A and B are shown apart, each in its own frame.
Chain A
Amino acid sequence: MENPNPKSLMAAFHFQRALSLVHRTASKSSRAVRGRRIQCAAYASMAYSAGPRRAWSRALLRRLRRAARRRQPRAGWRRRAAAGAGAASRVATGAAGLRRLVPGGGGMDYCSLLEETADYIKCLSVQVKLMQSIADSASLCGQL
């Protein structure tokens, strides 16, 4: 994995801390609840390590904070996740579809939207690789 990038190191660090926190505080809850919280942690650490200069990271953190403050994150996340995963074909295509997918996409012009999308894709793929390797090493050491 090409990981000497400081940004991805920070992302890994934040994510692991969040992960351990989730596991310690929510070990009694169901797996779905924990999974949801881990998903929040993933997005949060990704956005945090991306920095405040990116519009998508600001918007993502704003959304997460609002959800956490409202104390009903599960309902909101389920609705949003279901809308995202289930209605895949129904999501608009073109620029409108991108705006819906990329956090903070609604408030930008097309040019910045493309730029933010590129950065978002980069950080998302880094995060996915990170989680993949954590899961792999976890399952590996779980078998030992």
Chain B
Amino acid sequence: MESAQSSGVGSGNSDTYTPEIAESLRFQEEIQSLIDPSFDGSPAAGGSFTALLGLPANQAVELLHEQGPGELPVSGAASSSPTAGEMWRLRVGEEAAPALRLPLDCSPTFPSNAALVERAARFSVFATAESPASSTGGGPSPRLKTEPADSDSPPTLPIAAEKPQRPTKRKESEKSKGKTPAKKSKNAEENTGGDKLPYVHVRARRGQATDSHSLAERARREKINARMKLLQELVPGCSKITGTALVLDEIINHVQSLQRQVEFLSMRLAAVNPRIDFSGLDSFLSAECGPLTAGNGRGGAVLDPAMWSSEATAAASGTRRLPQQQFWHVDLMRPQQPSTMWERDGASHPHFLLNPATSLFVYDPANSVPLNSNQLKTEL
């Protein structure tokens, strides 16, 4: 998955990302955040479904379509059709869909995808949402408003027809926010029946405009509000503040203070540090990484951040003869890979590096760093 993604990135320019590639990058990250439980990038579970995915409607559709019909056991039927007054159709941008050739060959997603669909199902506004997953056959089958383009067969689901009012009321009681983004559950869940449907059925909220523009704006506003909430949680002392402008000011102050802290700490480290000896650590890790990175050129990539700080000096590259770092210098002397560092790197780079790293240093203040490196030296 990572190589496919990185190859997709590498095929473009390294500096100019077309919007689709940027979207696919964000997209894959969102997917990974859903797949990987240790990834802490997932938004609040109570949020709307496409806020979960962080995608606009058509890409969410594309995502689900890419997974293939088999994994999402769609019952393939429309639920009861409420009155036409509250229903509208939004044509998903089909011209955008083929542009996103998302190379999702991530097969291990599907156990979690079922959980995803379950969550989506839970967010659904339909009457079936009350009886959580058991009403229709198979837990994770979402209550879709799938609409095969012409034939609308409502009563395939064994549910009572719902009144227009009930979903609204239930919507409001369902979520903690009290504003169920019903529309998004439709957008994300639908069209998994195997045929690519151009229409997205959305239930508009009571008393709100139903044209596509205002719905899109509402989606956008909800995304923005969700992200603002995340930011408020991240910045200490921001939850009490009401009003977007003040919150933004607080965020700006926080970022500035963090950057200032980095600067002061770096000055402090410059003064304090010459005593600490990292050579043991480095040689150990280089030994681990050397044979692994031999054919891939990743060793040079690993050293790139170190390279930049040394590039900042006017010193020539050949003048660094340091005693214990022979193989590290071999890496340094390798012709520098240009800015395509990440294109080759992918995410496999952290994996093999992590095993020695995690076994080596559990980084906390109790374990002072030189202690680790000394221990490593004795191991060597």
- Residue positions of A touching B, CB distance < 8 A: 1, 3-10, 12-27, 29, 31-32, 34-45, 47-49, 51-55, 62, 64-65, 67-69, 71, 73-74, 81, 84-85, 88, 91, 93-95, 97-98, 101-102, 110-112, 114-115, 117-122, 124-125, 127-128, 130-142
Is B363 an interface residue, CB under 8 A from the partner? yes
Residue of A nearest to B22 (CB): A55
Pick from A5, A26, A118: contact of B313, CB below 8 A: A26
Bound Cα distance A109, B184 (Å): 21
Q: Tell me whether A12 and B363 are in contact in the complex, defined as CB-CB below 8 angstroms, given that A42-B266, A101-B256, A138-B272 are known contacts.
A: yes
A-B pairs with beta carbons under 8 Å apart, 18 shown: A9-B363, A10-B354, A10-B357, A17-B303, A25-B315, A26-B313, A27-B274, A35-B271, A37-B270, A38-B266, A52-B345, A53-B25, A71-B314, A88-B256, A101-B259, A102-B255, A135-B265, A138-B275
B119 to chain A, nearest CB (A): 20
Contact between chains at B285 and A118 (CB < 8 Å): no
**B213 contacts which chain A residues (CB < 8 A)?**
none
**A136 contacts which chain B residues (CB < 8 A)?**
365
A45 to chain B, nearest CB (A): 5
Pick from B230, B282, B310: contact of A25, CB below 8 A: B310
**A102 contacts which chain B residues (CB < 8 A)?**
255
Pick from B29, B255, B266: contact of A101, CB below 8 A: B255
A22 to chain B, nearest CB (A): 5
Bound Cα distance A17, B332 (Å): 13
Is B96 an interface residue, CB under 8 A from the partner? no
Pick from B6, B231, B259: contact of A114, CB below 8 A: B231
**A118 contacts which chain B residues (CB < 8 A)?**
227, 230-231, 234
- Chain A-chain B contacts (Cβ-Cβ < 8 Å), number: 251
Bound Cα distance A115, B363 (Å): 28
Contact between chains at A128 and B258 (CB < 8 Å): yes
A101 to chain B, nearest CB (A): 5
Bound Cα distance A21, B268 (Å): 16
Contact between chains at A41 and B350 (CB < 8 Å): no
Is B220 an interface residue, CB under 8 A from the partner? yes
**B364 contacts which chain A residues (CB < 8 A)?**
1, 3, 133
Is B249 an interface residue, CB under 8 A from the partner? yes
- Residue positions of B touching A, CB distance < 8 A: 6, 9, 15, 22, 25-26, 28-29, 38, 40-41, 54, 220, 223-224, 227-228, 230-231, 234-235, 245, 248-249, 251-252, 254-256, 258-263, 265-276, 278-279, 281-282, 285, 302-306, 308-315, 320, 322, 339, 342, 345, 347, 350, 353-354, 357-358, 361-365, 368-370
**B304 contacts which chain A residues (CB < 8 A)?**
44, 48
**B15 contacts which chain A residues (CB < 8 A)?**
62
A70 to chain B, nearest CB (A): 10
Contact between chains at B265 and A16 (CB < 8 Å): no
B97 to chain A, nearest CB (A): 21
Most buried by A among B15, B342, B347: B342
Residue of A nearest to B360 (CB): A13
Contact between chains at B251 and A119 (CB < 8 Å): no
Contact between chains at A94 and B245 (CB < 8 Å): yes
**B312 contacts which chain A residues (CB < 8 A)?**
36-37, 40, 67-68, 73-74
Q: Tell me whether A19 and B363 are in contact in the complex, defined as CB-CB below 8 angstroms, given that A40-B312, A48-B304 are known contacts.
A: no
Known pairs A9-B354, A135-B272 / 16 extra A-B pairs, C-beta < 8 Å: A17-B302, A25-B315, A35-B269, A51-B347, A52-B345, A98-B248, A98-B252, A111-B227, A117-B231, A121-B255, A122-B234, A124-B262, A132-B265, A135-B265, A136-B365, A141-B276
A43 to chain B, nearest CB (A): 7
Pick from A20, A23, A95: contact of B248, CB below 8 A: A95
Contact between chains at A115 and B227 (CB < 8 Å): yes
Contact between chains at B256 and A91 (CB < 8 Å): yes
Contact between chains at B363 and A35 (CB < 8 Å): no
Contact between chains at B306 and A111 (CB < 8 Å): no
Pick from A24, A38, A85: contact of B260, CB below 8 A: A85
B253 to chain A, nearest CB (A): 8
Contact between chains at B230 and A35 (CB < 8 Å): no
Contact between chains at B368 and A24 (CB < 8 Å): no
Pick from A37, A51, A135: contact of B309, CB below 8 A: A37
